[in-house]
Homo-oligomer: A and B are copies of this chain.
Amino acid sequence: MCPHSRFVRLILGELGVEHDLVEERVWERRREFLVLNPAGQTPVLVEDEGSAVPGACIAAEWLDETRGLALGEHRLLPEAPQERIEVRRLVEWFNVKFFEEVSLHLVHEKAYKRFMPADVGGGPPNPAGIRAARANIRYHMQYIGHLVGRRHWLAGERLTYADLAAAAHLSVTDYLGDTPWDEDQRAKEWYARVKSRPSFRALLADRIAGISPPDSYADPDF
Contacts and interface: CB of A to CB of B under 8 A. Distances in A.
Nearest to A93: B39
Contacts of A93: 38-39
A88 interface: yes
Could you say which of A37, A51, A55, A143 has the most chain B C-beta atoms within 10 Å of its C-beta? A55
A216 to B, nearest CB: 30
Contact of A85 (B62, B82, B92, B97): B62
A84 interface: yes
Interface string A44-72: 00000001011101100110011000000
A134 to B, nearest CB: 21
Interface residues of A, number: 23
Nearest to A58: B88
Contacts of A84: 61-62, 65
Contacts of A143: 38
Interface in A69-123: 81-82, 84-85, 88-89, 92-93, 97
